Structure 1
Amino acid sequence: MHQQEGKSEVRANVQEVMVFRSVIQIGPCVTHRSRCLELLASLSALPRLQSHSCRAMELKYFVAESKKQRLRTLLSLSGHRRTMLAVGLLWVRTLPLLALWALGSQGEPLSAPRVFLSFKEMRSTGTAHHFSFLLNTTDYRILRMDEDHDRMYVGSKDYILSLDLHDINKEPLIIHWPVSPQRKTECILSGKDTNGECGNFIRLVEPWNRTHLYICGTGAYNPVCTYVNRGHKAQAALHLQMPQSGGRASRAADYSTTPEPMGHQDYIFRLEPGRVDSGKGKCPYDPKLNSVSALINGELYAGVYIDFMGTDSAIFRTLGKQTAMRTDQYNSRWLNDPTFIHAHLIPDSAERNDDKLYFFFREKASEMGQNPVAQARIGRICLNDDGGHCCLVNKWSTFLKARLICSVPGADGIETHFDELPSLWRAYRSR
């Protein structure tokens, strides 16, 4: 009987020592959840814990300089006290890790990025607020960031706002650009909605040069464009003495100086009087139709519906010195009821003549026969395209398009179709 009790005590001591050695060697166990569970199961099988007065030996354990000395001290403790010490160390080491483990889902690493955040959940954090400056306006759709002036330009119905990037909640600079009462009346008489359609919905905000923006609005079903003087007073005065080479370069703008932060009283944000252009081919008539644009080297490239009925879609080139160009009219092989999403310049090489502009859009797939479905497309044009001489006169001769097919990891992800493409942005790779 005494031998069996001695063997049981030795077996329990060995088990306790093994558990303790596992504790001091486990380190972070978040990525080894099964090992954490094994340790907890081992502890649950140990004898019932009781208190004993062994404070001096415990202190000797904690001040030991090596694992070997700690193990000797542990073995010199009574069985129950040794168990309590091991359990205490286990919980000290594993409680924070188990808390992290509980936050992750089964079988997924904690380093996996979060890909979904609902609007309701974002609101519940208290960090998001509705954008409102007591203006009778809606439809904040166009955003344009100006890193040179540290401003964010926002286009809405009848208003253009300039926000301070250093403090986005600061009172903005505001331009009121409504349509005339006569034009609004004509729009209403044509059968359009008073609030949802017969207003000047801003749909294009592009940098014209360092001190001006080129802005277009629907103009109550009569598209119109104008220039906005933006910047500091000293720069605006200097600009009047400089030649105006409109548009942005196809490479990053190389400015010799950077504007210093100044107050509202020193910052100009106003419409240029008397400088109004037609917005046809630049901005849609219908504010519900998407349009995209890019102003490059003084030439405006736009994916837009150009007629009152919203049936003639085109990729247009206007302004500048080159020939005005467009896609073939009412040709479903070129564009078939597209929803334009984004336009982005992607240089192929250091040679500017090789630059190409890519358009991302959704359209009905004509190859599907009687039941066309929407498919995501990517189209491409060359910036130096002058069209054809015998055929394709004033039409793109370099226009190509293809279905956008993406690949995702996994056996079922070889051809993944993101046909409901709502938006996109370019991710710059660090070198």
Structure 2
Amino acid sequence: MMRSPMVLMYFLLIMSEGLAVSNRPRRSVSFQDMNLKQFKESGFGSLSSLMIRDDIGQLVVGARGKVLTLSLDDITKKTSEANWTVSSADKALCQMKGKHYKECDNFLRTLHTMEDGKMLVCGTNAFNPQCDYMTFTNGSVSLEGNKHVGRGKVPYDPDQRFASLMNENTLYSAASSNFLSTELVFQRHGLNPLKTEMTRSWFNEPTMISVSLAEASKNSEDGEDDKVFLFFTETAVEEHHDNIQVSRIARVCKSDLGGERTLQRKWTSFLKARLDCPFGGAGLSPLVQDAFLLQDPDNWRDSTFYATFTANSESSGACSQSAVCAYKLSDISQVFSGRFLAEMDTGTWETYTGEEPFPHSGSCINDELRAKGVMSSLDLSDKALLFVKSHPLMEGVVTPIAGKPLLVRTGIRFSKIVVDHVTSLDGRRHQVMLIGTDSGWLQKAVRFDGEDGRVIEELQLFQTPQPVNFLQLSFRTDSEFDRWRHPDVPNHRVEKQTCCCLPHPWVSSVPPMFP
């Protein structure tokens, strides 16, 4: 694991005039040409988590053995610091179990804000995960010392990918739950804990990518339940050849309570489907790297997932390629309302053509089901639950809008993505995509309604190539304004928004100009 000083960089991005005709950026800005402010501190490496707190004006950063806060108004200023280290006895025990001494520390990998303003922080704790709560009071962050078990909330291994989401003080996580990191589960913690079944048909050597909540209950006329979506990759059980990696999207219902007898404390609504992003040629399997949900406030079905993909081209010897694909929630819902695949006695997977129980497997409770006596998942029959348990995989494939990617780049590997709606003075709405790469560049693209995305600028965030592992948006506004120009959009004033990215072991804070 790399060890080096932390550098936090702050700079202003202004969208260029005009758009490139192709996906090659019209403007490329090198590190040397960036106007940077830097926060430096020696002996502080292995940055492992990041969280923006707009409400208190702080950037919260987790690392090996400590958490620090930086001012969002001027990130060169460290406002406070709290230490959470591992005892020598715990380190020794970790090494006795066969782990390297560099891994046997407390890497603080989970940071979430609770409804009361407290923060949940979880660390690997020498391969014995623990969590605690933090407060930011009178300009200083401090740990409460109320440590509790962090198993399943954060990985044991400081380098293993995982995903988590906090909603209404309820934590959803997709992470390993054992020392060897062989048991990966998607679970809900709290008063009504649920988790996935430990069967090959539910998860088969997965890599967890991201978790998002779609607020379907807002403005719903039929009592629709909110949905929680998980993006991941895994070895495809339905393929005839072994070790075929595919991208997946899974869905569960927020109000799922598990089964009364069958699937007790397990998801009764877990469904998954293959996620397609066609690029890179035949024989290449695009693997999802990140996903960002751009919510539609009026109709959740019009909300859109934007996801980055890389083509696994090592076996073909082709140049590496990356893409961004977009998916409407209405299209995703249609796939999850379709037919299922079933495993035959021969080991092959085929479309299930038998009788299906009521209601449709994996359905979320709504007014229609309540009218028929199904008030919660506890009212589902054993027959319906047994079908859910053995048929988690959908026959349909989730395909992107217009059946193709928004962006495709060659020789670049995309990592993280964030997206925002912007509105010009003429009332037209556009989507601005900020895409990180594994070499430390930020791709800035604009998507106009009905058109493909166009990369208009790329910026080198870091002098030495390293992946952008965290990318977040801040909605703090600034009193200063600048102009964003485009041939089809009248000049108008814009407010600053901040995007923060955290490669390992560096941090950058980027305030772009959004129209």
TM over 0.5: yes
Which residue of the partner structure matches residue 123 of structure 2?
217
Q: What is the Cα deviation at residue 268 of structure 1?
A: 2.7
1:345 aligns with 2:213: yes
Q: What is the rounded CA distance, in whole Å, between the counterparts of 2:30 and 2:48 in structure 1? A: 20
Describe how 1:325-344 pairs up with structure 2 within 5 A. 325-329=194-198, 331-344=199-212
Q: What is the rounded CA distance, in whole Å, between the counterparts of 1:171 and 1:129 in structure 2? A: 13
1:204 aligns with 2:110: yes
1:418 aligns with 2:289: no
Q: How many residues end up aligned between the 2 structures?
A: 281
CA contact (8 A) 1:293 1:343 kept: yes
Structure 1 residues 387, 138: closer, same or farther in 2, change over 3 A? same
3-state SS, counterpart of residue 186 of structure 1: helix
Structure 1 residues 311, 143: closer, same or farther in 2, change over 3 A? same
1:363 corresponds, among 228, 234, 240, to 234
Structure 1 residues 355, 267: closer, same or farther in 2, change over 3 A? same
Which residue of the partner structure matches residue 86 of structure 2?
179
Q: What is the Cα deviation at residue 365 of structure 1?
A: 1.5
Q: What is the Cα deviation at residue 297 of structure 1?
A: 1.8
Q: What is the rounded CA distance, in whole Å, between the counterparts of 1:205 and 1:293 in structure 2? A: 9
Which residue of the partner structure matches residue 188 of structure 2?
317
Q: What is the Cα deviation at residue 130 of structure 1?
A: 7.3
**What letter matches 1:328 in structure 2?**
E
Which residue of the partner structure matches residue 471 of structure 2?
none
Which residue of the partner structure matches residue 398 of structure 1?
269
Q: What is the rounded CA distance, in whole Å, between the counterparts of 1:343 and 1:115 in structure 2? A: 30
Describe how 1:228-247 pairs up with structure 2 within 5 A. 228-231=134-137
Which residue of the partner structure matches residue 44 of structure 2?
137
**What letter matches 1:380 in structure 2?**
R
Describe how 1:21-420 pairs up with structure 2 within 5 A. 110=20, 112=22, 122-127=30-35, 132-134=40-42, 136-195=43-102, 197-231=103-137, 266-273=138-145, 275-319=146-190, 321-322=191-192, 324-329=193-198, 331-350=199-218, 351=220, 354-406=225-277, 418-420=286-288
3-state SS, counterpart of residue 343 of structure 1: strand
Q: What is the Cα deviation at residue 366 of structure 1?
A: 2.0
Structure 1 residues 415, 360: closer, same or farther in 2, change over 3 A? farther
3-state SS, counterpart of residue 368 of structure 1: coil
CA contact (8 A) 1:203 1:291 kept: no
Q: What is the Cα deviation at residue 189 of structure 1?
A: 1.4
Determine which structure has the larger strand proportion and give its number: 2
Q: What is the rounded CA distance, in whole Å, between the counterparts of 1:316 and 1:129 in structure 2? A: 40
Q: What is the Cα deviation at residue 129 of structure 1?
A: 7.5
CA contact (8 A) 1:178 1:200 kept: yes
3-state SS, counterpart of residue 157 of structure 1: coil
Q: What is the Cα deviation at residue 139 of structure 1?
A: 2.2
Measured against aligned partners, the alpha-carbon deviations of 1:281-330 in whole angstroms (never above 9, x if no partner) come to: 211111111111111122111000000011000001112x22x110001x
CA contact (8 A) 2:176 2:182 kept: yes
Structure 1 residues 415, 172: closer, same or farther in 2, change over 3 A? farther
Measured against aligned partners, the alpha-carbon deviations of 1:147-196 in whole angstroms (never above 9, x if no partner) come to: 1112111111111121211112223421111111111111111111111x
Structure 1 residues 305, 131: closer, same or farther in 2, change over 3 A? farther
Which residue of the partner structure matches residue 100 of structure 1?
none
CA contact (8 A) 1:404 1:418 kept: no
Q: What is the rounded CA distance, in whole Å, between the counterparts of 2:253 and 2:262 in structure 1? A: 18
Q: What is the rounded CA distance, in whole Å, between the counterparts of 2:92 and 2:73 in structure 1? A: 41
Measured against aligned partners, the alpha-carbon deviations of 1:238-279 in whole angstroms (never above 9, x if no partner) come to: xxxxxxxxxxxxxxxxxxxxxxxxxxxx31311113x11100
Q: What is the Cα deviation at residue 141 of structure 1?
A: 2.9
Q: What is the rounded CA distance, in whole Å, between the counterparts of 2:26 and 2:47 in structure 1? A: 23
Structure 1 residues 393, 221: closer, same or farther in 2, change over 3 A? same
Structure 1 residues 161, 117: closer, same or farther in 2, change over 3 A? farther
**What letter matches 1:327 in structure 2?**
T
Structure 1 length-normalised TM: 0.59
CA contact (8 A) 2:65 2:83 kept: yes
Q: What is the rounded CA distance, in whole Å, between the counterparts of 1:203 and 1:227 in structure 2? A: 14
Structure 1 residues 109, 128: closer, same or farther in 2, change over 3 A? closer
Structure 2 length-normalised TM: 0.50
Larger-gyration structure (1/2): 1
Q: What is the rounded CA distance, in whole Å, between the counterparts of 1:116 and 1:222 in structure 2? A: 49
Further displaced range: 361-370 or 333-342? 361-370
Which residue of the partner structure matches residue 429 of structure 1?
421
The CA RMSD measured in Å over matched residues stands at 3.1
Structure 1 residues 307, 353: closer, same or farther in 2, change over 3 A? farther
3-state SS, counterpart of residue 367 of structure 1: coil
Q: What is the Cα deviation at residue 112 of structure 1?
A: 5.0
Structure 1: state its 5+ residue gaps: 1-107, 232-265
Determine which structure has the larger helix proportion and give its number: 1
